Structure 1
Amino acid sequence: MDNQLAQPGIVVRRITLMVIALLLAIGVFILGIHLIQVSDPYVQNVLSLKGNSGQGRAMFQINCAGCHGFEGNGQVGPSLQHVSKRKSKVDLIHQVTGGNTPPMPKFQPNPQEMADLLSYLKEL
């Protein structure tokens, strides 16, 4: 029996199965976090609204342009050009409201303001 455990083929198969199990567990964890984020009533409310990009631009100029630049090209904060292609709406909502990457502060826009901002960010 000990001899079988030392065989390279068996060891490789066991390691492969452990890696697959770990990747599946990570995937389930990430999916669970995403489902929790999407089920948030604030997020659901924002996603149900039609945003006005003109209003979103005005809000961006007042609250975001100081760090992200007037055209979202980045200054202190990163460039937001094409950010909607890199991040989902849910991720953007959580970034804005959570300030997940210091020194970005937390903002608490009402749902319509957040929908407007998302609409503008989509145009960048």
Structure 2
Amino acid sequence: MNHQVAKSEVTSSSQKVWAIAVTIVLAILISVAIAYQFQISDPYTKTVLSLSGDPIRGHAIFQMNCAGCHGSRRGTQVGPSLTDVSQRKSRVGLIEQVTSGKTPPMPQFQPSPQAMADLLSYLESL
């Protein structure tokens, strides 16, 4: 009888731990979804995401504004390589990175929504 009670308590305890873990994971997922939705509700970001970008125009924007730090000239690259950057950051994350200026020495840069859509299109081709 005691063995069955102990086994029942272990099972109950395991179920409680499992329920807590599931609750925590769900809370994290909901928080991430809310944060992502908040970013997309930003009018600038929403507009950029609604536009089709031209990678050729995006390349020209990149050359004028980004290549000085993210270019491929040996020994002069200040910023990280942007090869496959769209696989490391979401479109919303890329917009935030470009426009925020939160990662010095990268300056804050707020291109028009169409120019940002063009730049995104180019970055996705790298």
What is the TM-score when the length of structure 2 is the normalising length?
0.80
Amino acid at match of 2:83: Q
Match for residue 29 of structure 1 among 28, 31, 44? 31
Count matched residues. Answer: 119
**Deviation of the 1:75 alpha carbon:** 3.2
Q: How does 1:34-113 map onto structure 2 within 5 Å?
A: 34-70=36-72, 75-113=77-115
CA distance in 1, matches of 2:118, 2:88: 19
Question: Retained in 2: the 8 A contact 1:61–1:70?
Answer: no
Runs of 4+ in 1 over 4 A off after TM superposition: none
Unmatched runs of 5 consecutive residues or more in structure 1:
none
Cα RMSD (Å): 2.4
Structure 2 gap segments, 5+ residues each = none
Cα distance between partner residues in 1 of 2:52 and 2:98: 18
Cα deviation for residue 55 of structure 1 reads: 1.9
Conserved 8 A contact 1:68-1:78: yes
* Amino acid aligned to 1:61: Q
Question: How far does the alpha carbon of each residue in 1:33-86 deviate from its partner, in whole angstroms, 9 at most, with x for none?
Answer: 111111211112112222222221121122212221249xx9332221122233
Aligned to 2:17: 15
Corresponding residue for 2:118? 116
Residues in 2 aligned to 1:13 and 1:66: alpha-carbon distance in whole angstroms:
56
Whose Rg is larger? 2
The 3 A distance-change label for structure 1 pair 104 and 9 is farther
Identify the range of structure 1 (28-37 vs 51-60) with the bigger mean alpha-carbon deviation: 51-60
